[in-house]
Amino acid sequence: MGALPTNTVIAVIGAGTMGAGIAQVAAKAGHSVLLYDAVAGAAQQGIERTAAGLQKLVQRNKISSADCEALLSRMQPCDAIEDLAPAKLVIEAIVERLEVKQQLFSQLENICSADTIFASNTSSISITAIGAALSRPQHLLGMHFFNPAPVMKLVEVISGVATDAGIAQQLFDTAAAWGKKPVLARSTPGFIVNRVARPFYAEALRVLEEGGADVATIDAIVRESGGFRMGPFELMDLIGHDVNYAVTNSVFDAYFQDPRFKPSLLQQELVNAGYLGRKSGRGFYHYGDTAEQSAS
């Protein structure tokens, strides 16, 4: 079937940490992209954040200002979900909750044409379970980008039980055409990366809770001795604690509450406090205009 042609209109729903970046990736590949968020003004703000990020690349001569302008001209904020009707691929990057995602895709089945492909950027929720609420579950897949979406190459293309194999291959080819390194996976809890990564976060949180070492020390060891780009606490702050905690809960429940995946009370308290990481200005570290500093 091959990749979706570049004249295919793409919609991205959710203009938070991931959605705006995914929209940028599709627009860079030449697609017209419609960006919608339930919060009024959020799509416009997402595009403004993208514009600010691209401006920095222009200043560093990484892209030309003409390419930057052309890319931005292909990103359009939408005020109403009905405006997404022309899209042939809709990528959802909203809150990590099964019933909210089911409700969104059900609504979209009545707005978009019957051949529209629906993709969820979910980190952990069963594609089979999301699809169970739809009348065309064969058109639903996972298209799981990594943070930050414009930089990270990997994309997991995930099939649920009912997903059409040809559409999965088409999405795989599309991700490759967008300059990504896609991988095909079946819908298992946490898929590949988030399953493998659970102990990376959980064990670091346990060391901290047991008083073994502080946040900065654990991060430094993992970075400097382990060779990771980021330590576990830096990475959780980048992902967002609300999202990371929701993913752990989802994997924990999906594996019948296997204690290996038990969520952390410490992380739950961060979520309760609204210390969500970079996006709220504070998580394990403080973020501001000045240099970052450890909060622990």
User: Catalytic residues, which ones?
Assistant: 123, 144, 156, 194
Q: Which positions from 184 to 223 touch ligand NAI by CB under 6 A, shown as an x/- string?
A: ----------------------------------------
Number of residues interacting with ligand NAI: please give it, by CB under 6 A: 29
In this structure, how many other beta carbons lie within 10 angstroms of the beta carbon of residue 135? 9
Q: Residue 284's closest CA among 233, 222, 213, 218?
A: 233
If one asks whether residue 38 binds ligand NAI (CB under 6 A), the answer comes out as yes
CB of residue 122 vs ligand NAI: minimum separation in angstroms?
5
Q: Which positions from 251 to 290 touch ligand NAI by CB under 6 A, shown as an x/- string?
A: ----------------------------x-----------
If one asks whether residue 14 binds ligand NAI (CB under 6 A), the answer comes out as yes
Q: Residue 120's closest CA among 112, 128, 72, 181?
A: 128
- The only residue of 24, 32, 76, 121 in contact with ligand NAI, by rule CB under 6 A: 121
Q: CA 171, 175, 179: angle at the middle one, nearest 5?
A: 165
Report the residue number, 80 or 291, with the smaller CB distance to ligand NAI: 80
Contacts of 138 (CB under 8 A, 6+ apart): 162, 163, 164, 167
Longest dimension (CA), the chain: 55
For the purposes of burial, counting CB atoms within 10 Å of the CB of 64, is it exposed (0-12), middle (13-18) or buried (19 or more)?
A: exposed
Which residue, chain included where needed, has tokens 């993992």?
A: 222
If one asks whether residue 182 binds ligand NAI (CB under 6 A), the answer comes out as no
Report the residue number, 92 or 222, with the smaller CB distance to ligand NAI: 92
**Residues at the site binding ligand NAI, with contacts judged by CB under 6 A:** 13-19, 37-39, 42, 93-96, 100, 104, 121-123, 144-147, 239-240, 243, 247, 279
